[in-house]
Structure 1
């Protein structure tokens, strides 16, 4: 089965593009959402996180303590790398199981902001990079994530792989720059993937 990865920095519109593929009947795996699910329900992962980051990683009720993990890891590159090294293999296995469950589809799409950073691109046949200019991204994110400041957004963007590198490594680019229409770009890719599949 053809496996298509969709990546791009925060605020470029990956989810919008993925929603279009879903409307065309293509199964879409949202790596961020699935990672949260796996972190909550995968007992082996829960054990590894607790051993690495302490009992506070989960609440008394067994809920993932996202605030605690974020505070523990996101400002320390070493701890963030440790967190990713624990979580990513479990999400990769979850993706493999999900692909098997969707084996009847002509192709599948995996959305992942950290497609290259997590090495998930190695599981894909082709990659689509979604691109939007920085000013548009910041404007969108300030409207969407009202709890974040512009400085918060710029800090997140600063930690992600540069857009130029994502675009250079991808086989396809979708421009979500408020100038080019998204639907024709997605439909063209859909036809290409159906032909290859």
Structure 2
């Protein structure tokens, strides 16, 4: 089987950019967040289950997932958020397994997720890469790409995510994205290492 590499990092750390470099190098890439969004919009069985939990407002008239409404509904109700996650996460897990089987001949696979456990701990990952950047830089990046969010909102999101220290405890490898080092050589070095391990 292909090596399974998890990539994580806080909001604005640049994990998506790191994933794009791995993808450009030919690594099959899976984004748990993007696939969850796709499944919530396209998987009829999942849609029915979400609607049964949250009601008709969970979907708009055109059948698309009412993300903003759901977020407002669940983030102030931890028990409801937990129930929603208990529906969505297993479905994403099944989707991930099917994707892994489709790419078993690749030397390694890359999976991106905001929340991750240590490699081998309640997951099928072999190694974890943490993308790291200083908080001030992360805030500036998110402000630049998302004009809808205020600095206070972004700092609130950061405070709700696991801390940088906790994230580093999961890391087998750390990629520094603090603008003092180039990203591509760091990714290239890991790409070569993962290709050799096959």
Shift in CA distance, 123/8, structure 1 to aligned 2, threshold 3 Å: same
Residue 47 of structure 1: aligned partner = 48
What do the CA deviations read for 1:71-128 (whole angstroms, capped 9, x no partner)? Answer: 11122222222221211111111111111122221111001011239x9861211100
Helix, strand or coil at the partner of 1:12: coil
Shift in CA distance, 105/9, structure 1 to aligned 2, threshold 3 Å: same
CA contact (8 A) 1:92 1:120 kept: no
Residue 108 of structure 2: aligned partner = 107
- Unmatched runs of 5 consecutive residues or more in structure 1: none
Residue 35 of structure 1: aligned partner = 36
Residue 6 of structure 1: aligned partner = 7
Compare 91-100 and 108-117 and name the one that shifted more: 108-117
The Cα of 1:44 is off from its aligned counterpart by 2.0
Shift in CA distance, 181/121, structure 1 to aligned 2, threshold 3 Å: farther
1:91 maps to 2:92: yes
Separation (CA, whole Å) in 2 of partners of 1:116 and 1:54? 31
Residue 196 of structure 2: aligned partner = 195
CA contact (8 A) 1:5 1:121 kept: no
Helix, strand or coil at the partner of 1:115: coil
- Unmatched runs of 5 consecutive residues or more in structure 2: none
Residue 136 of structure 1: aligned partner = 137
Separation (CA, whole Å) in 2 of partners of 1:120 and 1:54? 34
Residues 112-191 of structure 1: matches in 2 within 5 Å?
A: 112-116=113-117, 122-191=123-192
Shift in CA distance, 102/36, structure 1 to aligned 2, threshold 3 Å: same
Give the 4+ runs in structure 1 shifted more than 4 A: none
Aligned residues: 196
CA contact (8 A) 2:117 2:170 kept: no
Helix, strand or coil at the partner of 1:122: coil
Pairwise CA RMSD: 1.6
Separation (CA, whole Å) in 2 of partners of 1:144 and 1:87? 27
Helix, strand or coil at the partner of 1:123: coil
